[in-house]
């Protein structure tokens, strides 16, 4: 892209202290962009910001603010010339979203509306949104392709993503200046190779890899594998796991794309290769020389047997593809967890 545009771009990372946001911040800073982070730390820790600075040797402007607070967000736009917003700020625990759906709709939809209103007010025309493979629902064949119709989500969290995609796409239809990039993530795992930043879930992890790494570090006794009677090759579910730094790289490409196009574009970010839960456990054991105690349990409600991405569009249009292996994902996860057994809180 045009180097002059790139040098002057300032990116607002809403929810940028979280798992995906912190890794993306590193990748953007290392590619010459400036970043501003706004986060209410409801699911993250300000220490992540210090670690980003340490890795990159760069300073960052950061705000402890709730993105649903329009006055606060407006002030951020007023004090910084924002060229592109990346919207990571959301609640993301699938099970919790079933118990407190209204809080999920309120937070996830409100953050999106507030950002869109402030962008319009301050003349910012580009937004990249953290969507999810979950919007394909259960009706679609695999692999998932962007041209497929969205499906029926199995939980309120998924519906918030589906609705936010609709809101953003309607906004870009109404405003021909607006550029919207919807990134549908598959299953990000791993950590930055420094081991300084990584995934730091609060409480009992919902997701597979942080659960495995907490068993490895002795914080949990054993992993429960949710179901071994699926119609897959070893009976456990299969997912498209993607290294977090490959995913972060996809955001750099998406920012460049958003700055040069108008309208709404959707991209899957996955590797295209699925692995089963048992394959992930075995890969972690092999890569790190650690045994993971596990037992089989009941199926988890809402889980699909298997899905993975067709990411040809991102490769063709964004010039993006993944380069890190499952072994890298397992090694980097463990490097982060063993150096930070209690996450950022043990700093
Ligand atoms: P995360 O919880 O680590 O990061 C989200 C960040 O947003 C957190 O730092 C949290 O404190 C912040 N936040 C939430 N609500 C906020 C608010 N109202 N105001 C300010 N900050 C707020 O999650 P993540 O894994 O980094 O995910 C980032 C985004 O990607 C989320 O929108 C998530 O739904 C989406 N996503 C994640 C995955 C995944 O597997 N991790 C998959 C698909 C989509
Ligand atoms: N699993 C276990 N034991 C655990 C945790 C998970 O067996 O303790 C299994 C699950 O049953 C599933 C697989 O590991 O078969 C992966 O589960 P995750 O919770 O790590 O990931 P999901 O595929 O369920 O969901 C993730 C995100 C969602 C997102 C989806 C698609 O949590 O937000 O990927 O992007 F929508």
Q: What is the CA radius of gyration of the chain?
A: 19
> pLDDT of 57-96, one tens digit each?
999 999 999 999 999 999 999 999 999 999 999 999 999 9
Q: Measure 112 CA to ligand 2 centroid, in angstroms.
A: 24
Its pTM stands at 0.98
State whether residue 1 is helix, strand or coil: coil
pLDDT at 247: 99
Residue 8: which pLDDT band, with cuts at 50, 70 and 90?
A: confident
Tokens 């190779």, residue? 193
Backbone angles phi, psi at 142, to 5 degrees: -110, 150
> pLDDT of 253-262, one tens digit each?
999 999 999 9
Residue nearest to atom 1 of ligand 2 (CA): 208
Backbone angles phi, psi at 101, to 5 degrees: -60, -40
pLDDT above 70: percentage of residues in the chain: 98
Atom of ligand 1 nearest to the CA of 161: 34
pLDDT at 68: 98
Q: Measure 88 CA to ligand 1 centroid, in angstroms.
A: 5
Task: Render 122-136 in DSSP notation, one character per residue.
Answer: HT--EEEEEEEGGGG
Residue 339 pLDDT exceeds 80: yes
Q: Calculate mean pLDDT across residues 258-278.
A: 98
Q: Calculate mean pLDDT across residues 30-39.
A: 97
Atom of ligand 1 nearest to the CA of 199: 3
Residue 217 pLDDT exceeds 60: yes
Give the pocket of ligand 1 (CB within 6 Å). Answer: 15, 17-21, 39-44, 66-68, 88-92, 107, 111, 130, 132, 185, 187-188
Q: Measure 207 CA to ligand 2 centroid, in angstroms.
A: 5
What stretch of H or E contains 299?
A: none
User: Cα–Cα distance between 186 and 244 in angstroms, integer?
Assistant: 11
pLDDT above 90: percentage of residues in the chain: 97
- Average pLDDT along the chain: 96
> Can 157 be counted among the known catalytic residues?
yes
Q: Measure 284 CA to ligand 1 centroid, in angstroms.
A: 25
Q: Write down the H helix ranges in 217-276.
A: 244-260
Residue 292 pLDDT exceeds 70: yes
Residue 347: which pLDDT band, with cuts at 50, 70 and 90?
A: low
Sign of CA dihedral 296, 301, 302, 305: positive
Atom of ligand 2 nearest to the CA of 226: 7
> pLDDT of 117-156, one tens digit each?
999 999 999 999 999 999 999 999 999 999 999 999 999 9
């Amino acid at each position: 892209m045009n180097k002059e545009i790139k040098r002057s771009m300032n990116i607002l990372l809403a929810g940028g202290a979280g798992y995906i946001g912190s890794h993306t911040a590193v990748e953007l800073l290392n590619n010459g962009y400036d970043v501003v982070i706004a986060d209410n730390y409801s699911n993250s820790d300000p220490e992540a910001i210090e670690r980003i600075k340490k890795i990159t040797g760069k300073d960052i402007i950061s705000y402890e603010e709730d993105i649903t607070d329009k006055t606060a967000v407006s002030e951020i736009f007023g004090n910084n010339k924002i060229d592109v917003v990346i919207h990571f700020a959301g609640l993301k625990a699938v099970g919790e979203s079933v118990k407190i759906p209204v809080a999920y709709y309120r937070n996830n939809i409100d953050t999106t509306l507030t950002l869109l209103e402030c962008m319009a007010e301050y003349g910012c025309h580009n937004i990249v949104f953290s969507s999810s493979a979950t919007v394909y629902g259960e009706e679609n064949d695999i692999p998932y392709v962007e041209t497929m119709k969205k499906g029926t989500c199995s939980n309120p969290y998924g519906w918030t993503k589906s609705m936010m995609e609709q809101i953003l796409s309607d906004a870009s239809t109404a405003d021909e200046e607006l550029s919207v990039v919807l990134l549908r993530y598959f299953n990000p795992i791993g950590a930055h190779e420094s081991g300084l930043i990584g995934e730091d879930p609060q409480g009992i992890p919902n997701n597979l890899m942080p659960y495995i790494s907490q068993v490895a570090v002795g914080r949990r006794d054993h992993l429960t594998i949710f179901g071994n009677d699926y119609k897959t090759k070893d009976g456990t579910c299969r997912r498209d796991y993607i290294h977090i730094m490959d995913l972060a790289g996809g955001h750099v490409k998406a920012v460049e794309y958003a700055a040069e196009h108008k309208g709404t574009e959707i991209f899957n970010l996955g590797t295209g290769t699925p692995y089963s839960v048992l394959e992930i456990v075995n890969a972690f054991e092999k890569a790190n020389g650690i045994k993971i105690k596990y037992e089989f349990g009941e199926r988890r409600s809402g889980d699909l047997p298997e899905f993975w991405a067709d990411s040809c569009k991102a490769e063709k249009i964004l010039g993006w593809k993944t380069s890190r292996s499952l072994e890298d994902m397992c090694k980097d996860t463990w490097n982060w967890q063993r150096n930070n057994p209690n996450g950022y809180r043990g700093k």
